[in-house]
Structure 1
Amino acid sequence: MPYYRDQLEWKGQQEFLPRRLRLEPNDEPAEEFWSWRGHRVHLDRYAKPDAPAKVVLHHGVGTNGRQMTLIAGAPLAKIGYETVALDNLGYGMTETAASTTWSYEDWVQVTLDFLVAEKERDPRPIFLYGLSAGGMLAFHVAAKAPKGLVAGIVGMTFMDMRNPSVMRAVAHDPVTGVVGVPALGALRRLGLGRVRLPMAMASKMSALANGKEVMKVLMRDRTSAANRVSLKFIDSLSTYTPAIPPEEFSACPILLTQPTEDRWSPFWMAETFLARITGVPVTVAQLENAGHLPFEDPGLRQMIEAIDTFVTANVPAAAGR
């Protein structure tokens, strides 16, 4: 059974973080597995039964749950929140059922089902944090969730892949951005959806982090940036339609934590999408000097401060923490 405690990749990656964020063995989260439709979903958890709220963290298509723990889960736990970082299907330490080809729809559903299971055993408010594609996943989950399940969304960028301008900007190259989506759909119809390819061939993975040396380390990690995914997953990610359009979204408030030096998903992408949301408060925190997957201060400090302020404002009991 795979555990991060036995993996070297994340330990090398954390050497590029500010020293205060590097985990020593006694600081590491508890590792759990949660069963879902034959899959074993890995969780990094900092359990805090007396915390006013729980923050569930989600990675994107070039990251994993342990990286979310490093930049957000552990720091938020230190200031008093329970945090859970989820490895979705095909990423991190999650074990997928044999002979299955998962889709982005499965990513949405497994996350939603996990939140429902958490809420059934623990009534505390749940906030969703998503980095990169995880930001849109947080929106997609909240749009599909029962009323009151999600107390708030924190998105580290929001990329609506159905927007042609966004697709061209986040794709590996301009040609892929223009012809990729129709081609993927055609290949799925031909029965080739199970074919896997490196996510770096489809997306602008070279812009995941700012810095050549850290990118070398990240691109050696087959559980995150060097992962391979199916054509079915990429096609479904590119074409997914939310259960509720942004113009009708009223589930919970939203916080955008936008890195100012994001070379993959600059501010205009999230701004274009969030401008369509008028039914709930939307706030923005700019993270100075930070890249798409941030390794930099002061952006990392600003992110934790913004999340703390956001959660406190939306959970009255948290004010007395």
Structure 2
Amino acid sequence: MNMPTYENQAAWKTIQHFLPTELHLTGATTPKEEWWAWQGNNIHLDTYRNPQAKIKVILFHGVGTNGRQMSLILGKPLAERGYETIAVDMPSYGLTQVGKSNVIRYDDWVQAGSDLIDAELVKDDRPIVLYGLSAGGMLTYHVAAKNKKVNAIVGMTFLDTSNQTVKDTVASNLFMSRIGTPITHLAAKTPLAAIRVPMSWASKMSTLVNDKEALRVFMKDKTSAGNSVSLTFLDSYIHYQPEIAAEDFDICPILLTQPANDRWTPLELSKLFLSRIHKVPVKTVLLENAGHYPLEQPGLSQMVDAIDSFYQIPSITGRKEQQE
């Protein structure tokens, strides 16, 4: 069977021209593409495998990006610093193929993330750390809370979608957050649940990047910002309950890499959630001049430096025992 490949996709190749030249992928630096069979789905992975790497980094995208876009800004830079990196296309995004009878919920994203960690730990026992952009930031928390074998998590934002302030800020408008959310919750319990809506209708996708030309490219890409999701997925994302409350989270240290010019999810939103965590270290680094999906320097370099330094903490580089 001929599987789809990013080699044949134009969107990411155009997007990378909005990034600094040193981040551009060439024939020699493009990630390897792998396929992981998971619950009737074929999940696409962008990988920079490195048996000598002391740490594996799993990269999660959000609801407006995909795995290849994670490889561009972080997968390749971290691989160049000696890490093994794996960027995931979550079900219904990127090149991942969803089984015909499968109904994707946000819970599946959490389970897939946890199962991927377990699959990698079967291969070897190197420490596994997570990174997530946008909604992927909170996904790192949800996955860590479920899996309990993660050594560190880094997020570009941590959004508690049960908080009305968060919902009002990230939604496309107040009608969608105040009226659309309860309507979606009701519709998700009916045959209308399968209806797909553009994520740009539900969220402030217009603030994904701060470059208008780049935004046009993202919005035309049906595998990322131009994607549509089912009402089932939207409702499950908004109402997902983590397996460990913030006040009880003791799995691993947390780093927030907050873009200073983020027009979608300002620092205050992540503070609402992270301020509740007291049992593990929580650190915040501001990325100068950077937007939500960062295209700008010096924020991009600051992000890589901050994450690299964070992952080198002794408590992270040493294997964390599984907690029962």
TM-score band, normalised by the shorter chain? over 0.9
Question: Corresponding residue for 1:246?
Answer: 246
Are 2:164 and 1:180 aligned? Answer: no
> Is the CA contact 2:152–2:316 (under 8 Å) kept in the aligned structure 1?
no
State the SS of the aligned residue for 1:168.
helix
Q: Distance in 2 between matches of 1:168 and 1:317?
A: 40
Shifted more, 182-191 versus 197-206: the winner is 182-191
TM-score (ref. length: structure 2): 0.96
State the SS of the aligned residue for 1:14.
helix
Q: Write the letter of the residue equivalent to 2:261.
A: E
Q: Write the letter of the residue equivalent to 2:141.
A: F
Q: Distance in 2 between matches of 1:171 and 1:95?
A: 28
**Selected match of 1:117 from 108, 116, 119:** 119
Question: Corresponding residue for 2:275?
Answer: 275
Structure 1 unmatched ranges of 5 or more: none
Question: Corresponding residue for 1:45?
Answer: 47
Are 2:46 and 1:73 aligned? Answer: no
Q: CA deviation at 1:5?
A: 1.2
Question: Corresponding residue for 1:209?
Answer: 209
Question: Corresponding residue for 2:219?
Answer: 219
Q: CA deviation at 1:145?
A: 1.1
> Is the CA contact 1:287–1:298 (under 8 Å) kept in the aligned structure 2?
yes
Q: Deviations over 1:5-49 (max 9, x none)?
A: 111110000000001001011110100000001100000000111
Q: Write the letter of the residue equivalent to 1:212.
A: K
> Is the CA contact 2:127–2:317 (under 8 Å) kept in the aligned structure 1?
no
Question: Corresponding residue for 1:20?
Answer: 22
Question: Corresponding residue for 2:137?
Answer: 135
Identical-residue share of aligned pairs (%): 51
Are 2:197 and 1:197 aligned? Answer: yes
C-alpha RMSD of matched pairs (Å): 1.1
Hey, which bits of structure 1, 4+ residues long, moved more than 3 A?
314-318
1:281-320 → structure 2 map (5 Å cutoff): 281-313=281-313, 314-316=315-317
Question: Corresponding residue for 1:231?
Answer: 231
Residue 316 to residue 102, structure 1, CA distance change in 2 (3 Å) = closer
Q: Distance in 1 between matches of 2:112 and 2:143?
A: 9
Q: CA deviation at 1:180?
A: 2.0
Q: CA deviation at 1:177?
A: 1.0
Q: Deviations over 1:121-150 (max 9, x none)?
A: 12000000000000000000111113xx10
> Is the CA contact 1:52–1:317 (under 8 Å) kept in the aligned structure 2?
no
Q: CA deviation at 1:52?
A: 1.1
State the SS of the aligned residue for 2:213.
helix
Are 2:73 and 1:33 aligned? Answer: no
Q: CA deviation at 1:174?
A: 1.1
Q: Write the letter of the residue equivalent to 1:177.
A: S
Q: Deviations over 1:170-214 (max 9, x none)?
A: 001111011122111110122211110111111110000001111
Shifted more, 121-130 versus 184-193: the winner is 184-193
State the SS of the aligned residue for 1:301.
helix
> Is the CA contact 1:263–1:291 (under 8 Å) kept in the aligned structure 2?
yes
Q: Distance in 1 between matches of 2:278 and 2:181?
A: 29
Paired residues in the alignment total 316
Q: Distance in 2 between matches of 1:256 and 1:75?
A: 18
**Selected match of 1:59 from 43, 46, 61:** 61
State the SS of the aligned residue for 1:72.
helix
> Is the CA contact 1:55–1:126 (under 8 Å) kept in the aligned structure 2?
yes
Q: Deviations over 1:289-313 (max 9, x none)?
A: 0000000010000000000100001
Question: Corresponding residue for 2:147?
Answer: 145
> Is the CA contact 1:128–1:153 (under 8 Å) kept in the aligned structure 2?
yes
> Is the CA contact 1:171–1:203 (under 8 Å) kept in the aligned structure 2?
yes
> Is the CA contact 2:311–2:317 (under 8 Å) kept in the aligned structure 1?
no
> Is the CA contact 1:92–1:224 (under 8 Å) kept in the aligned structure 2?
yes
Q: Deviations over 1:73-108 (max 9, x none)?
A: 000000110000000000001000013220000110
Q: CA deviation at 1:316?
A: 4.5
Question: Corresponding residue for 2:322?
Answer: none
